[in-house]
Amino acid sequence: MKKINSNLFKEAISKYTTGIAIITTNINEKFIGKTVNSFTSLSLTPPLVLFSLDKKSSSLKNYKESPNLGINILARNQKNTANYFSKRKPIWGNTKYFLSANNIPMIKECVVNIDCKKIKTISQGDHIIFICKVNKILINNIDKPLIYFNSQYI
């Protein structure tokens, strides 16, 4: 085994396969979206999920302020959407979406859309962890998910 450093840690974690999600919110009719692979389920009863954002994220303040969030698990054909929302302060432009009952933009054609209420944030290391209660879910059983492994989409 090797002594840990940030590059070795990043390389090791890149070997863990994840899906890709875009976390969305609406702040005063301004739609915000951020690509993450730090999304996971937390609890079945009650239904809870979590994701984390870097404390340096340009949109962190917006997510901390918003009581409701959308989690959009991307389909394999949404690689360009994932790349677009990984940019600093992306503009929605031509992104196809619908609004949840809580007025949160949900990206169309995802494998799953999850409407959530944020219930807790935790500061840990260089990230903020967001814990959310799931309100409603839309599942697309036709498309396959976008997968991330070894720092690239597969």
pLDDT, tens digit, for every residue of 65-99?
999 999 999 999 999 999 999 987 777 888 999 99
Three-state SS at 45: coil
**How many residues can be counted in the chain?**
154
Q: Half-sphere exposure of residue 105, counting CA atoms within 13 Å on the CB side?
A: 21
Residue 89 confidence (pLDDT): 74
Residues of the chain with pLDDT > 90: what percent?
Answer: 92
Assessment of whether the complete model's pTM goes beyond 0.85: yes
DSSP-assigned letters across all residues of 80-146: HHHHHTTSSS---TT--EEE-TTS-EEETT-SEEEEEEEEEEEEETTEEEEEEEEEEEEE-SSSPBP
Tell me: the pLDDT tens digits for 111-135? 999 999 999 999 999 999 999 999 9
> What letter would DSSP give residue 71?
E
Write the single-letter amino acid at 50.
L
Give the model's pLDDT for residue 78. Answer: 97
Residue 19's SS3 state is strand
- Can you tell me the distance from the alpha carbon of 147 to that of 149, in angstroms, rounded to the nearest whole number? 7
Domains, in order of start, for the chain: 18-69+95-136 (2.30.110.10)
In DSSP terms, 69 is beta-bridged to: 116
**125 — phi, psi (to 5°)?**
60, -135
